[in-house]
């Protein structure tokens, strides 16, 4: 029996191997459906097998070694509707003529919304060129309104808001910083920025040259790293196209563009180029202060056909010259202005080699290289006036210094007296971000019986640096208090990644699992080298797969790591300046002030961990007839978000009061002041005879504040996204009317339990022996959301945010008239936000100024006080004393200490601070129409909030009603139009 079973298994495996080695050739011609002319450079793909080919000058393609069985072939090219052909291959097959239809509004069922697809087992939304034209997207940020539950924002380039998926503004966790953006496989890297911790700006990206956009809102594959909150992939136009001239305008913006895709002679490939100019104004009545972008981009693509293999070469170059400029504004003070460059140069190259082996499967090796540089220099010219000299501090070392005239101090490393009268100060902030990316990826795809196995292995190297010179001034005589920090002296941050992923497709089931290892090499930093592992898993299963009915489930889990920014790795030094001597003014109006400067280096945190997110997601897609439903539920928890706090250190300095000059025997007009840089002793020397008098001083006690980057507490986000679509009238020739209902429910909760040091009323300094001394309180958490802003003691240490939005879109299509219209009602059903105070001593007060009260347990309409958990004294800063017990003990026994401890209490300014901010429901209606005139001209028009909704909404936090007009809840009445001409 064992021998028989062994023989049977051997025969089955042998038969499977023989069947798997039976492979055939698929060929065909791709033609234009209208002209019947061949289409060159169309891409023909065999689904799931990673087999592809490009059509030649005759529109012909050949794909070798296609295994027998049911095969699905997808044919696509720029400007045409993608077509899928499915057939059962059992011999060499010639598909004859595959005709593609032009992508225009004469096609029934053309889509102008974001489409969900979960082909890789995770939620991904795709947006095509037709949708971008219909919505007249000016910036990449405009696509957020196209996602389920998205809310329209009036687009203008003067708004530099950043992409952040599945989040809202004002939240902890650096959601924007964790959202990745790629253009043709090249990552837009903002890690080297020294002024922000956000995702890359998108307003310098041309929208007229975009062919499609993929929004991976779920769990991306391990191929993608340096990410913690999803990613947006942009694909630019690539292939043969006619000349396209486009002009758009709205009340604040003008945009013109020219694009063309050339098919080079002698089958030399295609060359796409695009030129765009766009300008937005801040004030429609005074269009002088403006942001502009001027973009030129080119992309070359060539497929080299070789026996048994193909090589696809793509190279691109994109440059932008633009930025913000207010110099021409006649309403500004004369010769004052603000200019900010937003120049960028991006270059990318990709080699994609496909080898189709009859016996071993399909091998695909991809090599990508990209380089980008950005010039973000700002130039500010401001007017300044003063009737007396002021001290401008430029000292960069610890110690005492006295003000000098510019000729004596030479403007650097000293204290310079400013002039008197009127003058202009011109300052610059220079940031030049550079990044280099190299990526090598190998894929092996093999089909065994009905199963398809794909193994991906790759490595990636990224280098990031900032070649800017930081802040500087053109005239050091006029430079205010400032210290240089040259970014170009900072080292380069390198990251090396290795990843492996396995995808197995067995009939209706697809499983994807992978592991990514990121190694960060931070040269010149105490953080050294750090490594992190990111496992990710996705699955998809077709429960029902019929022609008219289908049901697909998908689920996944993953971890993703976000590298720190230069702001975290290389923070600038902190300077604390204390005035130690104020002499009287001389006859020419000069006062030679003396200061003590304390320099603090940012504190290295050996326990700093890289921020990462754990994500889970589950969803479904269903179809019944022509009706479709998609649903995605997600849970995202961000760990170790980057956060900044102050570390206080006590220090004392010597101060000389002006009264010390009363007994000085040297006449005021004959005095020369000097200071000992170590002791701070002020000396007065006679300019006539050289006699010197040392002035008495007193000792002052205070603190210096130094920044430290730490990891904050975890942040949780979860929600639900849905899309339901159904046809109402489905006549392909006369009228198509469909209804789409999409929406989202979103829940955020973030509380911070990090100990935050500070003093709510400011840290003063006291004289030694005065009987009082400054205290530092240690509070549980802060409600500061941005990693760029230092956390300070606040009444709340967290926030809960809930929202539910529902969009109803009615789309009318008239193919014969080449006309499509959409009416969209955007309703916000829930807008809830509440400040939180947890894991800390929070007291509900009867009166605003009370010190004690009852424990706060969430009641409304109360003034609230927050006690620090500990406090420390100047004499013993390392000892943290429990605060509540000390307050009670000092109330009757130590009035001075009691008064100081009361100064550490943080109080709410209003009684409704912790009341839920629940806004009643509101809505906005938008209208869009696109009309094609023949095959060559297309017109689009949109009107946002065209009913100009002036209704009032009620805020339950205060009980007050406010008008929706100019409230920020809905867009103002806004309109725009565009025209596109094909030549």
Q: What is the pLDDT of residues 547-603, one digit of tens each?
A: 889 999 999 999 999 988 888 888 888 888 999 998 877 667 678 889 999 888 777
Q: Quote the mean pLDDT of the chain.
A: 89
Distances (CA, A) of 880 to 147, 589, 775, 875, 903: 50, 48, 11, 12, 17
Q: Averaged over 352-361, what is the pLDDT?
A: 85
Q: Averaged over 191-214, what is the pLDDT?
A: 91
Residue 90: both structure tokens together: 């059992």
Q: Averaged over 65-88, what is the pLDDT?
A: 84
| pLDDT confidence bin for 770, thresholds 50/70/90 | low
Nearest Cα to 75, choosing from 125, 104, 41, 48? 41
Calpha distance 77→781 (Å, rounded): 54
Q: Averaged over 186-208, what is the pLDDT?
A: 90
The string of DSSP letters for 833-852 reads EEEE--SS-EEEESSTT-S-
Q: CB of 750 within 8 A of CB of 834?
A: no
Q: Averaged over 809-838, what is the pLDDT?
A: 94
The count of other CB atoms within 10 Å of the CB of residue 507 is 12
Residue 416: both structure tokens together: 């310079």
- Taking 60 as the threshold, does the pLDDT of residue 410 lie above it? no
- Taking 70 as the threshold, does the pLDDT of residue 20 lie above it? no
Calpha distance 442→363 (Å, rounded): 7
- Taking 90 as the threshold, does the pLDDT of residue 731 lie above it? no
State the distance between the two ends of the chain, measured CA to CA, in whole angstroms: 76
| pLDDT confidence bin for 753, thresholds 50/70/90 | very high
φ, ψ dihedrals at 571, nearest 5°: -70, 150
Q: So what's the pLDDT on residue 334?
A: 83
Q: 905-944 b/e with 16+ CB inside 10 Å = b?
A: bbbbeebbbbbbbebeebbbbbbbbbbbeeeeebebbbbb
The lowest-confidence range among 164-168, 331-335, 468-472, 804-808 is 331-335
Distances (CA, A) of 372 to 215, 453, 469, 565, 657: 22, 36, 18, 17, 56
> CB-side exposure of 275: number of CA atoms within 13 Å?
3
| pLDDT confidence bin for 22, thresholds 50/70/90 | low
Q: Mind listing the pLDDT tens digit for each residue in 712-721? A: 999 999 999 9
Share of the chain above pLDDT 90, in %: 56
Residue 53: both structure tokens together: 């080919």
Calpha distance 208→938 (Å, rounded): 14
Q: So what's the pLDDT on residue 13?
A: 42
Q: So what's the pLDDT on residue 12?
A: 39
Q: Averaged over 956-971, what is the pLDDT?
A: 92
Q: CB of 943 within 8 A of CB of 929?
A: no
Q: Mind listing the pLDDT tens digit for each residue in 612-670? A: 999 999 999 999 988 999 999 999 999 999 998 889 988 889 999 888 888 788 888 88
- Taking 90 as the threshold, does the pLDDT of residue 767 lie above it? no
Nearest Cα to 313, choosing from 74, 41, 75, 83? 41
| pLDDT confidence bin for 113, thresholds 50/70/90 | confident
Residue 834: beta bridge partners?
800
Q: Averaged over 71-87, what is the pLDDT?
A: 86
Domains, in order of start, for the chain: 23-89 (2.60.40.4130)
Q: So what's the pLDDT on residue 942?
A: 96
Strands 93-100 and 23-32: parallel
Torsion of CA 110, 138, 632, 925, to 10 degrees: -80
Q: CB of 839 within 8 A of CB of 849?
A: no
Q: So what's the pLDDT on residue 14?
A: 43
Residue 685: beta bridge partners?
672, 692
Nearest Cα to 313, choosing from 297, 305, 302, 329? 302
| pLDDT confidence bin for 760, thresholds 50/70/90 | confident
Q: So what's the pLDDT on residue 8?
A: 43
Q: So what's the pLDDT on residue 323?
A: 94
Q: So what's the pLDDT on residue 21?
A: 53
Q: Mind listing the pLDDT tens digit for each residue in 136-176? A: 999 999 999 999 999 999 989 998 889 999 999 889 988 99
Q: So what's the pLDDT on residue 804?
A: 97
Look at residue 600 and give its three-state secondary structure: strand
Q: Averaged over 337-357, what is the pLDDT?
A: 93
Q: What is the CA radius of gyration of the chain?
A: 33
Which H/E stretch holds residue 134? helix 129-135
The count of other CB atoms within 10 Å of the CB of residue 645 is 22
| Helix-, strand-, coil-residue percentages of the chain, each rounded to 5 | 10, 55, 40
Q: So what's the pLDDT on residue 637?
A: 96
Higher pLDDT, 92 or 210: 210
Q: CB of 432 within 8 A of CB of 381?
A: no
Q: So what's the pLDDT on residue 413?
A: 66
- Taking 80 as the threshold, does the pLDDT of residue 329 lie above it? no
């Amino acid at each position: 029996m064992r021998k028989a079973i062994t023989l049977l298994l051997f025969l089955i495996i042998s038969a499977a191997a023989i069947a798997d080695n039976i492979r055939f050739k698929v060929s065909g011609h791709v033609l234009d459906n209208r002209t019947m002319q061949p289409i060159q450079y169309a891409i023909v793909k065999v689904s799931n097998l990673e087999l592809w080919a490009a059509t030649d000058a005759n529109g012909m393609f050949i794909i070798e070694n296609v295994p027998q069985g049911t095969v699905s072939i997808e044919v696509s090219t720029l400007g045409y509707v993608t077509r899928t052909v499915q057939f059962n291959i059992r011999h060499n097959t010639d598909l004859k003529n595959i005709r593609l239809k032009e992508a225009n509004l004469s096609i029934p069922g053309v889509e102008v919304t974001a489409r969900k697809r979960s082909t890789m087992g995770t939620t991904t939304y795709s947006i095509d060129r037709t949708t971008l034209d219909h919505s007249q997207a000016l910036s990449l940020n405009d696509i957020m309104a196209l996602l389920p539950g998205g809310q329209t924002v009036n687009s203008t380039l003067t708004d530099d808001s950043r992409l952040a998926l599945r989040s809202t503004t004002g939240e902890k966790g650096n959601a924007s910083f964790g959202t990745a953006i790629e253009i043709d496989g090249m990552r837009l890297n903002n890690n080297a920025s020294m002024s922000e911790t956000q995702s890359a700006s998108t307003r310098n990206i041309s929208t007229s040259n975009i062919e499609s956009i993929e929004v991976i809102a779920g769990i991306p594959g391990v191929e993608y790293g340096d990410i913690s909150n999803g990613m947006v992939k942009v694909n630019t136009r690539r292939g043969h196209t006619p000349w396209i001239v486009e002009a758009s305008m709205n009340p604040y913006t003008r945009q013109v563009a020219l694009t063309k895709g050339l098919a080079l002679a002698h089958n030399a490939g295609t060359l796409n180029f695009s030129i765009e100019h766009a300008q937005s104004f801040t004030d429609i009545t005074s269009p002088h202060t403006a942001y502009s972008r001027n973009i030129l981009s080119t992309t070359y693509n060539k497929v080299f056909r070789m026996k048994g293999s193909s090589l696809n070469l793509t190279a691109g170059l994109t440059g932008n010259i633009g930025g913000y400029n207010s110099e021409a504004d006649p309403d500004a003070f004369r010769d004052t202005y603000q200019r900010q460059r937003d120049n960028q140069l991006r270059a990318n190259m990709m080699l994609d080699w496909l080898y189709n082996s009859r016996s071993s499967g399909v091998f695909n090796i991809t090599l990508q290289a990209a380089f980008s540089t950005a010039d973000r220099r700002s130039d500010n010219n401001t007017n300044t006036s003063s009737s007396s000299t002021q001290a401008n501090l430029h000292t960069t070392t610890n110690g005492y210094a006295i003000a000098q005239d510019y000729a004596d101090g030479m403007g650097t490393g000293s204290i310079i007296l400013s002039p008197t009268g009127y003058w202009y100060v011109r300052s610059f902030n220079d940031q030049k971000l550079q990044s280099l990316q190299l990526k090598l990826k190998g894929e092996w795809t093999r089909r065994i019986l009905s199963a398809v196995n794909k193994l991906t292995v790759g490595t990636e190297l990224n280098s990031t640096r900032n070649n800017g010179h930081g802040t500087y001034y053109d005239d050091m005589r006029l430079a205010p208090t400032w210290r240089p920090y040259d970014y170009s002296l900072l080292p380069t941050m390198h990251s090396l990644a290795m990843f492996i992923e396995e995808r197995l497709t067995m009939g209706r089931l697809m499983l994807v699992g992978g592991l990514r290892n990121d190694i960060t090499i931070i040269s010149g930093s105490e953080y050294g080298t750090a490594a992190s592992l990111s496992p990710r898993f996705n699955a998809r299963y077709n429960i029902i797969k019929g022609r008219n009915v289908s049901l697909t489930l998908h689920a996944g889990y993953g971890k993703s790591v976000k590298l720190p920014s230069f702001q975290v790795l290389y923070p600038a030094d902190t300077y604390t300046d204390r005035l130690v001597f104020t002499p009287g003014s001389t006859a020419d109006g000069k006062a030679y002030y003396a200061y003590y400067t304390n320099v603090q280096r940012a504190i290295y945190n050996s326990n700093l961990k890289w921020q990462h997110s754990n994500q889970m997601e589950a969803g479904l897609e269903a179809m019944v007839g022509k009706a479709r439903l998609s649903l995605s539920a997600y849970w995202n928890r961000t760990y170790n978000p980057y956060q900044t706090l102050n570390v206080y250190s006590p220090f004392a300095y010597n101060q000389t009061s002006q009264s010390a000059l009363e007994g000085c025997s040297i006449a005021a007009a004959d005095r020369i002041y000097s200071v000992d840089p170590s002791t701070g002793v002020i000396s007065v020397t006679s300019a006539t005879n050289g006699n010197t008098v040392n002035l008495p001083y007193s000792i002052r006690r205070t603190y210096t504040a130094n920044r430290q980057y730490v990891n904050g507490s975890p942040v949780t986000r979860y929600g639900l996204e849905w899309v339901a679509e159904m046809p109402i009238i489905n006549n392909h020739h006369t009228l198509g009317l469909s209804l789409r209902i999409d929406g989202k429910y979103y829940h955020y909760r973030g509380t911070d339990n990090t100990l935050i040091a500070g003093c709510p009323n400011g840290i003063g300094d006291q004289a030694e022996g005065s009987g009082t001394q400054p205290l530092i309180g240690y509070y549980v958490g802060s409600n500061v959301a941005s990693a760029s802003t230092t956390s300070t003691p606040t009444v709340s240490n967290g926030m809960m945010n809930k929202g539910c939005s529902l969009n109803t879109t009615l789309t009318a299509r008239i193919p014969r008239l080449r006309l499509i219209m959409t009416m969209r009602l955007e309703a916000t059903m829930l807008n809830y936000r509440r400040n939180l105070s947890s894991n800390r001593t929070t007291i509900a007060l009867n009166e605003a100024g009370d010190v004690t009260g009852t424990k706060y347990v969430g009641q409304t309409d109360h003034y609230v006080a927050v006690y620090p958990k500990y406090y420390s004294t100047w004499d013993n800063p390392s000892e943290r004393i429990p605060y509540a017990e000390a307050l009670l003990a000092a109330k009757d026994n130590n009035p001075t200490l009691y008064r100081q401890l009361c100064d550490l209490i943080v109080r709410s300014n209003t009684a409704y601070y912790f009341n839920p901010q629940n806004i009643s429901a509101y809505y906005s209606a938008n209208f869009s129409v696109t009309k094609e005139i023949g095959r060559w001209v297309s017109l689009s028009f949109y009107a946002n909030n065209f009913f100009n909704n002036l209704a009032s909404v009620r805020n339950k936090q205060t009980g007050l009603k406010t008008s929706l007009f100019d409230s920020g809840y809905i867009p103002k009445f806004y309109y725009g139009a565009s025209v596109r001409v094909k030549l």
